[in-house]
A and B are shown apart, each in its own frame.
Chain A
Amino acid sequence: MKDIEIGGAAVYGLLGYAVVFFGLVMLMIVVLLLGKIMVAAGRRSEEKIASALPAEPAVPAKEAPRALPAKGTGGEILLHDVPEREAAMVMAVVAHRLNKPLNELRFKSIREVKDK
């Protein structure tokens, strides 16, 4: 098809715009579904990690607080008695020393080594 009339061009223009919308709306639905599946899977793995932790001690007041998964890590990093702010600093220092971007490193857990 080479020559096209003005009316035909208007119709094809509208159709083309609609096709682009259709394609990207469909893609949006797929991405939304993918996101929901991933979030649900992340939650399940968080629960698994939480259930794998040792049981609560008999006298909780004297023991260290329960390990909390850090935000944004899908529960993969465990902080043992370390505030989030300090954990972030530790990770930044490690990344700096290794000369690697932080998002290329994987931290599993951070625990404060206390003097006995």
Chain B
Amino acid sequence: MNILETLGRLARESGFAAFFAAGGWKNLIMIAVACVLLFLGIKKKFEPLLLVGIAFGVLLTNLPGSGLYHMEMWDAFLDPASAHYHSYGYILTQGGLLDVLYIGVKTGLYPSLIFLGVGAMTDFGPLLSNPKSLLLGAAAQLGVFLAFFGAILLGFTGPEAASIGIIGGADGPTALFLTNKLAPHLLGPIAIAAYSYMALIPMIQPPLMRALTTEKERSVKMEQTREVSKTEKILFPIVVASFVILLIPSTAPLIGCLMFGNLLRECGVTERLNDTAQNALMNIVTLFLGISVGATTVADRFLTVKTLGIVLLGLIAFSFSTVGGLLVGKLMYKLSGGKINPLIGSAGVSAVPMAARVSQVEGQKANPSNFLLMHAMGPNVAGVIGSAIAAGFLLALFG
């Protein structure tokens, strides 16, 4: 037994040695990116529940030799010419831990289950008491389609452009769901762009809100909305699920789960299930989703010019979605004779409830006695439905 030879072999096979091999520097950059994301999640508290998981996934997948995630296996999974085309058995038997967890993303399971939890956590009362706020949820999808167009101009394919555009919906699970169906190779950068911008909403939206509205408009105090009966709240998820799924069938997994979760909350006889959906299940899925999405950011695929394009287009998508909501908010302000505060329009981007909170904060800056939060929750939850419809349209087009 040659001890020196053994030690030499161990050194050569170690992950440290791989940093000095061809392309090893890319892994180092990705590890730095992971550390930045961890800093943003932990220190700055930017969407920490997801960002910490994603960042740790980025770190794990880029540690050479970890063998937790195998991009080449997923390439074979997607290649019709491969012997392992669409073979989950191959992934389960040969894959690493993160490959196995990633199956939940691949099948669309995690985003749908997240929607179940979101539905259980969401009170649609404000939307029911003021159904016109659905218009703001539609208007705030402007960025989705502008970014889609911009991505085509930059040379992305149709499915890629659709996946990039949906970042403007400000809805992480929807972005993951659509990207996974249309452009799975872009899942890492799109997930990171979507969640980073969602975390940055308090910085992205206020300048646009102040630029597009006057002090007088921002200080409008909205009247108390009507009370919504329990029966109405129970009927709502049943009606919406039936109506939206019949209108755009490809929204079924997202809208179906969102409304099922909401029915569990409102029906009053499934308290245990409601509690599980919005707490235990939501936490477990968030945990798996974050780390497995982070795992897709393999250095070779992530550090490309395309990623920069996605980050830029994501910002455009987010900004124009905010602008779309604000402009229709201004229109509603005019048509209502100054009764609607246009600031609630920017909450039409999903990002529940952060976008609504931004409307509240900006409204209070203009008029300290202003309470816009409940009024902004209407467009905010309408945005969730709106982005699911936008995703359904794009899926029907390119799926």
Contacts and interface: CB of A to CB of B under 8 A. Distances in A.
In the A-B complex, the 6 residue pairs with the smallest Cβ-Cβ separation, listed nearest first, are A13-B145, A9-B152, A4-B158, A24-B138, A31-B131, A28-B134
A38 B148 contact: no
A102 B94 CA distance: 54
Interface stretch (A14-22, A55-63, A78-86, A90-98): A14-22
B397 interface: yes
Contacts of A113: none
A16 B397 CA distance: 9
Contacts of B248: 19, 23
A4 B144 CA distance: 17
A32 interface: yes
B308 interface: no
Interface residues of A, number: 34
23 contacts: A1-B398, A2-B398, A4-B158, A9-B148, A9-B153, A13-B146, A13-B149, A17-B142, A20-B138, A20-B386, A21-B138, A21-B139, A24-B135, A24-B382, A27-B243, A28-B135, A31-B131, A34-B235, A34-B236, A35-B226, A38-B232, A39-B226, A72-B227
A49 interface: no
A100 to B, nearest CB: 12
Given A4-B152, A9-B148, A16-B394, A24 B235 contact: no
Given A14-B145, A17-B145, A24 B134 contact: yes
Given A24-B386, A27-B385, A6 B152 contact: yes
Interface in A26-55: 26-28, 30-32, 34-35, 38-39, 41-42
A34 B158 contact: no
Contacts of B145: 13-14, 16-17
A20 B389 contact: yes
B385 A24 contact: yes
Q: Is the interface of A mostly helix, strand, loop or mixed?
A: helix
Nearest to B145: A13
Interface of B: 127-129, 131-132, 134-135, 137-139, 141-142, 144-146, 148-149, 152-153, 157-159, 161, 226-229, 231-232, 235-236, 239-240, 243-244, 247-248, 382, 385-386, 389-390, 393-394, 397-398
B236 A27 contact: no
Contact of A19 (B235, B243, B385, B393): B393
Contacts of B385: 24, 27
Given A16-B394, A19-B248, 4 more contacts: A9-B161, A12-B397, A23-B244, A27-B131
Contacts of A74: 227, 229
Of A4, A13, A24, A74, chain B has the most CB atoms within 10 Å of the CB of: A24
A3 interface: yes
Contacts of A39: 226
A39 to B, nearest CB: 8
B85 to A, nearest CB: 18
Contacts of A26: 243, 247
A27 B128 CA distance: 11
Contacts of A16: 144-145, 148, 390, 393-394, 397
Contacts of A27: 131, 134, 240, 243-244, 385
Of A14, A27, A41, chain B has the most CB atoms within 10 Å of the CB of: A27
Contact of B131 (A9, A13, A35, A73): A35
A14 B232 CA distance: 34
A88 interface: no
B398 to A, nearest CB: 6
A2 B159 contact: yes
Nearest to A14: B145
Given A2-B158, A24-B386, A38 B231 contact: yes
Of A10, A28, A41, chain B has the most CB atoms within 10 Å of the CB of: A28
Contacts of B240: 27
A19 B389 CA distance: 8
B389 A23 contact: yes
B381 to A, nearest CB: 12
Contacts of A24: 134-135, 137-138, 382, 385-386, 389
A42 to B, nearest CB: 6
Interface string A66-77: 000000111000
